[in-house]
Chain A
Amino acid sequence: MLDKKGIAKRIAQELRNGWYVNLGIGIPTLVANYVPENINVVFQSENGILGMGPFPYDGEEDADMINAGKQTITALPGAVIFDSATSFAMIRGKHIQLTVLGAMEVSQNGDIANWKIPGKMVKGMGGAMDLVASADNIIVAMMHTNKRGISKLLKACTLPITGVKCVKKVVTNLAVLDITPDGFKLVERAPGVTVAEIQEATEGKLIVEGEIPEMVLE
Protein backbone atom coordinates (compact mmCIF):
# COMPACT_ATOMS: atom_id res chain seq x y z
CA MET A 1 0.00 0.00 0.00
CA LEU A 2 1.22 3.53 -0.76
CA ASP A 3 1.30 6.55 1.51
CA LYS A 4 0.59 10.03 0.18
CA LYS A 5 4.21 10.46 -0.90
CA GLY A 6 4.04 7.16 -2.78
CA ILE A 7 0.94 8.32 -4.67
CA ALA A 8 2.77 11.52 -5.62
CA LYS A 9 5.84 9.51 -6.72
CA ARG A 10 3.74 7.30 -8.96
CA ILE A 11 1.99 10.30 -10.55
CA ALA A 12 5.38 11.93 -11.18
CA GLN A 13 6.09 9.02 -13.56
CA GLU A 14 3.30 10.35 -15.79
CA LEU A 15 5.12 13.66 -16.41
CA ARG A 16 6.50 14.25 -19.90
CA ASN A 17 9.16 16.63 -21.10
CA GLY A 18 7.95 20.12 -21.92
CA TRP A 19 4.61 19.86 -20.18
CA TYR A 20 2.98 22.70 -18.28
CA VAL A 21 1.35 21.15 -15.22
CA ASN A 22 -1.19 22.37 -12.68
CA LEU A 23 -1.04 20.69 -9.27
CA GLY A 24 -3.99 20.98 -6.90
CA ILE A 25 -3.91 21.33 -3.14
CA GLY A 26 -2.93 18.33 -0.97
CA ILE A 27 -1.31 15.16 -2.38
CA PRO A 28 -0.97 16.71 -5.88
CA THR A 29 1.36 19.42 -4.51
CA LEU A 30 3.79 16.68 -3.46
CA VAL A 31 4.24 15.57 -7.09
CA ALA A 32 6.66 18.48 -7.60
CA ASN A 33 9.09 16.79 -5.20
CA TYR A 34 9.48 13.69 -7.40
CA VAL A 35 9.98 14.96 -10.96
CA PRO A 36 12.28 12.43 -12.69
CA GLU A 37 15.77 13.79 -13.40
CA ASN A 38 15.54 13.69 -17.18
CA ILE A 39 12.13 15.40 -17.28
CA ASN A 40 11.61 19.15 -17.57
CA VAL A 41 8.18 20.48 -16.66
CA VAL A 42 6.83 23.89 -15.66
CA PHE A 43 4.39 24.09 -12.77
CA GLN A 44 1.49 26.50 -12.87
CA SER A 45 -0.32 27.75 -9.82
CA GLU A 46 -3.65 29.22 -10.84
CA ASN A 47 -3.36 32.28 -8.61
CA GLY A 48 -0.90 33.53 -11.19
CA ILE A 49 2.52 31.96 -11.70
CA LEU A 50 4.25 29.66 -14.18
CA GLY A 51 7.61 28.36 -13.07
CA MET A 52 6.79 27.83 -9.42
CA GLY A 53 9.86 26.67 -7.51
CA PRO A 54 10.38 25.03 -4.12
CA PHE A 55 9.42 26.51 -0.77
CA PRO A 56 11.72 29.37 0.32
CA TYR A 57 14.39 28.96 2.95
CA ASP A 58 13.32 29.95 6.43
CA GLY A 59 13.52 33.72 6.75
CA GLU A 60 13.36 34.28 2.98
CA GLU A 61 9.59 33.86 2.63
CA ASP A 62 7.73 36.68 0.85
CA ALA A 63 4.08 37.40 1.63
CA ASP A 64 3.64 38.45 -2.01
CA MET A 65 4.73 35.03 -3.32
CA ILE A 66 2.25 32.25 -2.66
CA ASN A 67 0.69 29.31 -4.49
CA ALA A 68 -3.01 28.51 -4.81
CA GLY A 69 -2.82 26.68 -1.47
CA LYS A 70 -1.63 29.98 0.09
CA GLN A 71 1.76 28.43 0.84
CA THR A 72 4.87 30.59 0.46
CA ILE A 73 6.81 29.70 -2.70
CA THR A 74 9.75 30.78 -4.83
CA ALA A 75 10.01 31.45 -8.56
CA LEU A 76 12.47 29.55 -10.77
CA PRO A 77 14.53 31.22 -13.49
CA GLY A 78 12.17 31.77 -16.43
CA ALA A 79 9.13 32.07 -14.19
CA VAL A 80 6.36 34.49 -15.07
CA ILE A 81 3.67 36.16 -12.97
CA PHE A 82 0.25 37.08 -14.35
CA ASP A 83 -3.24 37.96 -13.22
CA SER A 84 -6.13 35.56 -12.52
CA ALA A 85 -7.96 36.23 -15.79
CA THR A 86 -4.81 35.39 -17.78
CA SER A 87 -4.18 32.35 -15.61
CA PHE A 88 -7.57 30.85 -16.41
CA ALA A 89 -7.16 31.76 -20.07
CA MET A 90 -4.23 29.31 -19.99
CA ILE A 91 -6.42 26.71 -18.35
CA ARG A 92 -9.60 27.25 -20.35
CA GLY A 93 -7.63 27.61 -23.57
CA LYS A 94 -6.00 24.18 -23.03
CA HIS A 95 -2.45 25.48 -22.78
CA ILE A 96 -1.80 23.35 -19.68
CA GLN A 97 -1.01 19.71 -20.54
CA LEU A 98 -1.71 18.00 -17.22
CA THR A 99 -3.91 18.70 -14.22
CA VAL A 100 -3.52 16.70 -11.00
CA LEU A 101 -6.12 17.17 -8.31
CA GLY A 102 -7.60 15.59 -5.23
CA ALA A 103 -11.15 14.28 -4.94
CA MET A 104 -13.74 13.12 -2.44
CA GLU A 105 -15.38 10.86 -5.04
CA VAL A 106 -14.77 9.74 -8.61
CA SER A 107 -17.35 7.82 -10.63
CA GLN A 108 -16.68 5.10 -13.17
CA ASN A 109 -17.60 7.44 -16.04
CA GLY A 110 -15.07 10.06 -14.90
CA ASP A 111 -17.26 12.45 -12.91
CA ILE A 112 -15.49 14.06 -9.96
CA ALA A 113 -16.78 15.55 -6.69
CA ASN A 114 -14.43 17.59 -4.52
CA TRP A 115 -15.96 20.88 -3.41
CA LYS A 116 -18.92 20.43 -1.12
CA ILE A 117 -20.66 18.16 1.38
CA PRO A 118 -24.22 19.54 1.60
CA GLY A 119 -25.08 20.92 5.03
CA LYS A 120 -21.69 19.96 6.44
CA MET A 121 -18.69 21.29 4.64
CA VAL A 122 -18.37 23.91 1.98
CA LYS A 123 -14.89 24.74 0.80
CA GLY A 124 -15.88 26.10 -2.57
CA MET A 125 -14.73 24.93 -5.96
CA GLY A 126 -11.87 27.39 -6.33
CA GLY A 127 -10.34 26.74 -9.72
CA ALA A 128 -11.29 23.06 -9.85
CA MET A 129 -14.42 23.46 -11.99
CA ASP A 130 -12.53 25.50 -14.59
CA LEU A 131 -9.68 22.99 -14.60
CA VAL A 132 -11.80 19.86 -14.98
CA ALA A 133 -14.08 21.42 -17.60
CA SER A 134 -11.22 22.27 -19.93
CA ALA A 135 -8.21 20.06 -19.24
CA ASP A 136 -7.76 17.09 -21.58
CA ASN A 137 -5.54 15.17 -19.21
CA ILE A 138 -6.75 14.93 -15.61
CA ILE A 139 -5.26 12.62 -13.00
CA VAL A 140 -6.91 12.31 -9.61
CA ALA A 141 -4.69 11.66 -6.59
CA MET A 142 -6.57 10.34 -3.57
CA MET A 143 -6.95 7.57 -1.02
CA HIS A 144 -9.00 4.64 -2.34
CA THR A 145 -11.45 4.77 0.57
CA ASN A 146 -12.52 7.50 2.98
CA LYS A 147 -11.77 7.61 6.71
CA ARG A 148 -14.74 5.33 7.41
CA GLY A 149 -13.43 2.78 4.92
CA ILE A 150 -16.05 3.56 2.28
CA SER A 151 -15.00 3.42 -1.37
CA LYS A 152 -14.34 6.72 -3.15
CA LEU A 153 -14.42 5.02 -6.57
CA LEU A 154 -18.14 4.77 -7.24
CA LYS A 155 -20.72 3.81 -9.83
CA ALA A 156 -22.06 7.36 -9.51
CA CYS A 157 -20.98 10.28 -7.32
CA THR A 158 -23.22 10.92 -4.31
CA LEU A 159 -21.84 14.42 -3.59
CA PRO A 160 -22.40 17.52 -5.75
CA ILE A 161 -20.07 17.10 -8.69
CA THR A 162 -17.28 19.39 -9.85
CA GLY A 163 -17.27 18.17 -13.44
CA VAL A 164 -18.68 15.48 -15.71
CA LYS A 165 -16.80 12.73 -17.58
CA CYS A 166 -13.46 14.45 -17.20
CA VAL A 167 -11.11 12.28 -15.11
CA LYS A 168 -8.75 10.12 -17.20
CA LYS A 169 -6.75 8.34 -14.53
CA VAL A 170 -6.90 7.73 -10.79
CA VAL A 171 -3.88 6.98 -8.61
CA THR A 172 -4.70 5.81 -5.09
CA ASN A 173 -2.89 4.19 -2.20
CA LEU A 174 -3.98 0.83 -3.67
CA ALA A 175 -3.87 1.12 -7.45
CA VAL A 176 -3.56 2.95 -10.74
CA LEU A 177 -6.82 2.90 -12.71
CA ASP A 178 -7.77 4.28 -16.11
CA ILE A 179 -11.29 5.57 -16.68
CA THR A 180 -12.69 3.78 -19.72
CA PRO A 181 -16.17 3.77 -21.28
CA ASP A 182 -16.74 0.46 -19.45
CA GLY A 183 -15.53 1.48 -15.99
CA PHE A 184 -12.35 1.62 -13.88
CA LYS A 185 -9.69 -0.38 -15.68
CA LEU A 186 -7.09 -1.69 -13.25
CA VAL A 187 -3.64 -0.84 -14.60
CA GLU A 188 -1.28 -1.41 -11.67
CA ARG A 189 -1.39 -2.61 -8.08
CA ALA A 190 0.40 -0.81 -5.25
CA PRO A 191 3.22 -2.84 -3.70
CA GLY A 192 1.85 -5.74 -1.68
CA VAL A 193 -1.79 -5.13 -2.61
CA THR A 194 -3.83 -7.89 -4.23
CA VAL A 195 -6.45 -7.58 -6.96
CA ALA A 196 -9.01 -8.94 -4.49
CA GLU A 197 -8.23 -6.12 -2.03
CA ILE A 198 -8.63 -3.53 -4.78
CA GLN A 199 -11.92 -5.13 -5.86
CA GLU A 200 -13.12 -5.04 -2.25
CA ALA A 201 -12.34 -1.31 -1.96
CA THR A 202 -13.93 -0.34 -5.29
CA GLU A 203 -17.69 0.20 -5.41
CA GLY A 204 -17.74 1.16 -9.10
CA LYS A 205 -17.24 -1.31 -11.92
CA LEU A 206 -13.67 -2.63 -11.88
CA ILE A 207 -12.23 -4.14 -15.06
CA VAL A 208 -9.43 -6.63 -14.51
CA GLU A 209 -7.81 -8.03 -17.64
CA GLY A 210 -4.97 -10.54 -17.35
CA GLU A 211 -2.09 -10.23 -14.91
CA ILE A 212 -2.01 -6.85 -13.18
CA PRO A 213 1.57 -5.69 -12.62
CA GLU A 214 2.79 -4.19 -9.38
CA MET A 215 3.94 -0.57 -9.50
CA VAL A 216 7.64 0.06 -9.76
CA LEU A 217 8.69 2.96 -7.56
CA GLU A 218 12.25 4.07 -6.98
Chain B
Amino acid sequence: MNKVVENAEKAIEGIIDNMTLMLGGFGLCGIPENCISALVNSKIKGLTCISNNAGVDDFGIGLLLQNHQVKKMISSYVGENDEFERQMLSGELEVDLIPQGSLAARCYMGGAGVPAFFTPAGYGTEVAQGKEIRYFDGKPHLLESALTADFAIVKAWKGDTMGNLIYKGTARNFNPAMAMAGKITIAEVEELVEPGELDPNFIHTPGVFVQRIFQGVNYEKRIEQKTVRQKA
Protein backbone atom coordinates (compact mmCIF):
# COMPACT_ATOMS: atom_id res chain seq x y z
CA MET B 1 0.00 0.00 0.00
CA ASN B 2 1.50 3.32 -1.04
CA LYS B 3 -0.33 6.61 -0.51
CA VAL B 4 2.50 8.88 -1.55
CA VAL B 5 1.86 11.74 -3.94
CA GLU B 6 4.58 13.88 -5.42
CA ASN B 7 3.85 17.27 -3.90
CA ALA B 8 1.18 19.66 -2.62
CA GLU B 9 -0.16 20.39 -6.13
CA LYS B 10 -0.80 16.68 -6.71
CA ALA B 11 -2.16 16.26 -3.18
CA ILE B 12 -4.93 18.85 -3.64
CA GLU B 13 -6.11 17.42 -6.97
CA GLY B 14 -9.87 17.01 -6.83
CA ILE B 15 -10.48 20.00 -4.60
CA ILE B 16 -12.89 22.24 -6.51
CA ASP B 17 -14.91 25.40 -5.92
CA ASN B 18 -17.41 25.38 -3.04
CA MET B 19 -15.99 22.36 -1.27
CA THR B 20 -15.64 22.03 2.51
CA LEU B 21 -12.09 21.65 3.84
CA MET B 22 -10.70 20.96 7.30
CA LEU B 23 -7.28 22.44 7.97
CA GLY B 24 -5.29 21.39 11.03
CA GLY B 25 -3.28 23.75 13.19
CA PHE B 26 -3.63 26.13 16.13
CA GLY B 27 -2.68 29.66 15.23
CA LEU B 28 0.29 29.13 12.92
CA CYS B 29 1.43 26.03 14.81
CA GLY B 30 1.03 22.76 12.91
CA ILE B 31 -0.62 24.23 9.81
CA PRO B 32 -0.29 22.52 6.41
CA GLU B 33 1.84 25.28 4.86
CA ASN B 34 2.52 23.51 1.56
CA CYS B 35 -1.12 22.71 0.80
CA ILE B 36 -2.25 26.22 1.77
CA SER B 37 0.26 27.64 -0.74
CA ALA B 38 -1.00 25.24 -3.39
CA LEU B 39 -4.60 26.27 -2.68
CA VAL B 40 -3.67 29.96 -2.95
CA ASN B 41 -2.06 29.29 -6.34
CA SER B 42 -4.99 27.15 -7.49
CA LYS B 43 -7.47 30.07 -7.33
CA ILE B 44 -10.14 27.61 -6.12
CA LYS B 45 -12.89 29.68 -4.50
CA GLY B 46 -16.11 29.49 -2.51
CA LEU B 47 -14.41 27.29 0.08
CA THR B 48 -15.84 26.51 3.48
CA CYS B 49 -12.86 26.14 5.80
CA ILE B 50 -13.08 24.42 9.16
CA SER B 51 -10.06 25.44 11.20
CA ASN B 52 -9.58 26.61 14.77
CA ASN B 53 -8.12 29.94 13.64
CA ALA B 54 -7.64 31.64 10.32
CA GLY B 55 -3.93 32.28 10.50
CA VAL B 56 -2.66 35.86 10.48
CA ASP B 57 -3.14 38.49 7.79
CA ASP B 58 -0.19 37.38 5.68
CA PHE B 59 0.24 33.70 6.54
CA GLY B 60 -1.74 30.50 6.88
CA ILE B 61 -5.43 30.64 6.00
CA GLY B 62 -5.09 34.43 6.09
CA LEU B 63 -3.60 34.10 2.59
CA LEU B 64 -6.77 32.40 1.34
CA LEU B 65 -8.90 35.11 2.95
CA GLN B 66 -6.90 37.89 1.31
CA ASN B 67 -7.50 36.18 -2.03
CA HIS B 68 -11.24 35.99 -1.31
CA GLN B 69 -11.19 32.23 -1.83
CA VAL B 70 -13.12 31.52 1.36
CA LYS B 71 -16.91 31.80 1.52
CA LYS B 72 -17.32 30.57 5.06
CA MET B 73 -15.11 29.94 8.09
CA ILE B 74 -15.99 27.59 10.91
CA SER B 75 -13.61 28.48 13.76
CA SER B 76 -13.38 29.14 17.48
CA TYR B 77 -11.04 32.14 17.57
CA VAL B 78 -10.19 34.90 15.13
CA GLY B 79 -8.30 37.18 17.51
CA GLU B 80 -5.09 37.91 15.65
CA ASN B 81 -6.38 38.30 12.12
CA ASP B 82 -7.54 41.81 11.19
CA GLU B 83 -8.62 40.88 7.66
CA PHE B 84 -10.76 38.04 9.05
CA GLU B 85 -12.40 40.41 11.53
CA ARG B 86 -12.95 43.01 8.82
CA GLN B 87 -14.52 40.54 6.36
CA MET B 88 -16.71 39.12 9.10
CA LEU B 89 -17.98 42.47 10.40
CA SER B 90 -18.63 43.71 6.85
CA GLY B 91 -20.56 40.55 6.02
CA GLU B 92 -18.28 39.50 3.12
CA LEU B 93 -17.38 36.35 4.97
CA GLU B 94 -19.83 33.98 6.57
CA VAL B 95 -18.53 32.89 9.95
CA ASP B 96 -19.67 30.20 12.32
CA LEU B 97 -17.90 30.67 15.65
CA ILE B 98 -18.11 27.65 17.89
CA PRO B 99 -16.51 26.70 21.19
CA GLN B 100 -13.06 25.17 20.73
CA GLY B 101 -13.84 21.95 22.57
CA SER B 102 -17.06 21.51 20.62
CA LEU B 103 -15.12 22.09 17.39
CA ALA B 104 -12.57 19.41 18.29
CA ALA B 105 -15.28 16.98 19.38
CA ARG B 106 -17.38 17.65 16.27
CA CYS B 107 -14.42 16.73 14.04
CA TYR B 108 -13.52 13.69 16.13
CA MET B 109 -17.12 12.47 16.17
CA GLY B 110 -17.43 13.10 12.44
CA GLY B 111 -14.50 10.77 11.89
CA ALA B 112 -15.72 8.29 14.48
CA GLY B 113 -19.19 7.84 12.99
CA VAL B 114 -21.11 9.54 15.81
CA PRO B 115 -23.52 11.95 14.10
CA ALA B 116 -24.27 14.13 17.14
CA PHE B 117 -23.56 14.46 20.85
CA PHE B 118 -24.55 16.55 23.87
CA THR B 119 -22.19 19.04 25.49
CA PRO B 120 -22.68 21.72 28.17
CA ALA B 121 -20.52 24.26 26.30
CA GLY B 122 -22.46 27.25 25.05
CA TYR B 123 -25.65 26.75 27.04
CA GLY B 124 -27.41 30.08 27.59
CA THR B 125 -25.31 31.80 24.90
CA GLU B 126 -25.72 32.72 21.22
CA VAL B 127 -24.18 29.34 20.39
CA ALA B 128 -27.26 27.57 21.76
CA GLN B 129 -29.68 29.29 19.37
CA GLY B 130 -31.74 26.73 17.49
CA LYS B 131 -30.12 23.76 19.20
CA GLU B 132 -31.92 21.07 21.14
CA ILE B 133 -31.38 21.31 24.91
CA ARG B 134 -31.52 18.25 27.10
CA TYR B 135 -30.82 17.84 30.82
CA PHE B 136 -28.47 15.16 32.11
CA ASP B 137 -27.95 14.92 35.89
CA GLY B 138 -29.88 18.17 36.20
CA LYS B 139 -27.51 20.08 33.93
CA PRO B 140 -28.43 21.55 30.51
CA HIS B 141 -26.59 20.34 27.41
CA LEU B 142 -26.70 21.30 23.71
CA LEU B 143 -27.06 18.85 20.87
CA GLU B 144 -24.09 19.43 18.57
CA SER B 145 -23.74 17.75 15.19
CA ALA B 146 -20.57 16.08 13.96
CA LEU B 147 -18.50 17.68 11.20
CA THR B 148 -16.96 16.03 8.16
CA ALA B 149 -15.20 17.54 5.15
CA ASP B 150 -14.65 16.79 1.48
CA PHE B 151 -10.94 17.05 2.22
CA ALA B 152 -9.09 17.22 5.52
CA ILE B 153 -5.57 18.61 5.28
CA VAL B 154 -3.20 17.96 8.17
CA LYS B 155 0.45 18.56 8.96
CA ALA B 156 2.58 16.01 10.81
CA TRP B 157 6.22 15.74 11.78
CA LYS B 158 6.89 12.24 10.47
CA GLY B 159 4.82 9.92 8.39
CA ASP B 160 5.31 6.68 6.51
CA THR B 161 4.15 5.75 3.02
CA MET B 162 1.11 3.98 4.54
CA GLY B 163 -0.07 7.25 6.06
CA ASN B 164 0.81 6.58 9.71
CA LEU B 165 1.58 9.91 11.39
CA ILE B 166 3.52 11.30 14.34
CA TYR B 167 3.19 14.94 15.37
CA LYS B 168 5.70 17.04 17.26
CA GLY B 169 4.96 19.19 20.30
CA THR B 170 1.81 21.27 20.39
CA ALA B 171 1.74 21.18 16.58
CA ARG B 172 -0.49 18.14 17.16
CA ASN B 173 -3.59 20.17 18.25
CA PHE B 174 -6.52 19.71 15.80
CA ASN B 175 -4.62 17.56 13.30
CA PRO B 176 -5.50 14.08 14.66
CA ALA B 177 -9.25 14.76 14.98
CA MET B 178 -9.43 16.39 11.55
CA ALA B 179 -7.40 13.60 9.94
CA MET B 180 -10.24 11.27 10.94
CA ALA B 181 -13.01 13.44 9.49
CA GLY B 182 -12.00 13.94 5.87
CA LYS B 183 -13.64 11.97 3.08
CA ILE B 184 -10.15 12.31 1.66
CA THR B 185 -7.39 13.17 4.11
CA ILE B 186 -4.13 14.69 2.91
CA ALA B 187 -1.11 14.62 5.22
CA GLU B 188 1.95 16.71 4.60
CA VAL B 189 4.96 15.74 6.68
CA GLU B 190 8.42 17.07 7.36
CA GLU B 191 9.93 13.63 6.99
CA LEU B 192 8.49 10.78 4.96
CA VAL B 193 9.82 7.32 5.84
CA GLU B 194 9.30 3.68 4.84
CA PRO B 195 6.89 1.38 6.72
CA GLY B 196 8.59 -0.10 9.76
CA GLU B 197 10.65 2.97 10.53
CA LEU B 198 8.02 4.42 12.87
CA ASP B 199 7.50 2.54 16.15
CA PRO B 200 3.86 1.34 16.07
CA ASN B 201 3.61 2.13 19.79
CA PHE B 202 4.14 5.81 19.18
CA ILE B 203 1.99 6.56 16.15
CA HIS B 204 -0.64 9.25 16.80
CA THR B 205 -2.77 8.95 13.65
CA PRO B 206 -3.23 5.46 12.21
CA GLY B 207 -2.75 5.43 8.44
CA VAL B 208 -6.28 4.11 7.87
CA PHE B 209 -7.49 7.72 8.18
CA VAL B 210 -5.05 9.07 5.58
CA GLN B 211 -5.44 8.75 1.79
CA ARG B 212 -2.58 10.91 0.47
CA ILE B 213 0.78 11.79 1.95
CA PHE B 214 3.81 13.76 0.81
CA GLN B 215 6.97 15.26 2.20
CA GLY B 216 6.62 19.01 2.32
CA VAL B 217 9.31 21.54 1.48
CA ASN B 218 10.56 24.88 2.76
CA TYR B 219 8.65 24.97 6.04
CA GLU B 220 8.63 28.48 7.47
CA LYS B 221 7.05 27.54 10.81
CA ARG B 222 6.41 31.13 11.75
CA ILE B 223 6.11 32.04 15.42
CA GLU B 224 3.20 34.34 16.25
CA GLN B 225 4.28 35.45 19.73
CA LYS B 226 7.95 34.92 20.41
CA THR B 227 8.20 35.05 24.20
CA VAL B 228 11.51 34.36 25.91
CA ARG B 229 13.20 34.78 29.26
CA GLN B 230 16.71 36.03 29.86
CA LYS B 231 19.40 33.79 31.29
CA ALA B 232 20.08 34.70 34.89
Shortest B188–chain A CB gap in Å is 14
- Return the contact of A49 from the options B27, B168, B170, B222 (Cβ within 8 A): B170
Q: Does A130 contact B (CB under 8 A)?
A: yes
Most chain B Cβ neighbours within 10 Å, of A60, A66, A92, A127: A66
Q: Are B97 and A91 in contact (CB under 8 A)?
A: no
Query: Scoring A residues 105 to 133 as 1 if CB is less than 8 Å from chain B, else 0, what string do you get?
Result: 00000010000100111111111111001
| A111 partner residues in chain B, CB cutoff 8 A | 124
B interface, by DSSP: helix, strand, loop or mixed? loop
Q: Does A213 contact B (CB under 8 A)?
A: no
| A88-B105, A122-B85 given; A129·B121 CB < 8 A | yes
Q: Does B175 contact A (CB under 8 A)?
A: yes
- Return the contact of A122 from the options B27, B97, B231 (Cβ within 8 A): B97
- Return the contact of A48 from the options B99, B105, B172, B223 (Cβ within 8 A): B172
Of B2-10, B14-22, B74-82, B192-200, the segment with at least 4 beta carbons within 8 Å of chain A is B74-82
Most chain A Cβ neighbours within 10 Å, of B169, B226, B227, B231: B227
Q: Does B224 contact A (CB under 8 A)?
A: yes
Q: Does A164 contact B (CB under 8 A)?
A: yes
| A64-B169, A119-B89, A129-B99 given; A70·B225 CB < 8 A | yes
| A81 partner residues in chain B, CB cutoff 8 A | 169-170, 172
Of A50-58, A148-156, A169-177, A187-195, the segment with at least 4 beta carbons within 8 Å of chain B is A50-58
Q: Does A145 contact B (CB under 8 A)?
A: no
Shortest B58–chain A CB gap in Å is 15
| B168 partner residues in chain A, CB cutoff 8 A | 64
Query: Scoring A residues 64 to 84 as 1 if CB is less than 8 Å from chain B, else 0, what string do you get?
Result: 111111111101000001111
Enumerate B79-127 residues with CB–CB distance to A below 8 Å: 79-80, 85, 88-89, 97-105, 107-108, 119-127
| A55-B228, A130-B102 given; A84·B174 CB < 8 A | yes
> What 8 A-B pairs come out closest when comparing CB atoms?
A88-B101, A130-B101, A64-B169, A164-B124, A63-B221, A129-B99, A84-B104, A124-B77
Mind listing 9 A-B residue pairs with CB under 8 Å? A48-B26, A54-B229, A57-B230, A58-B230, A63-B28, A64-B170, A68-B26, A85-B177, A126-B77
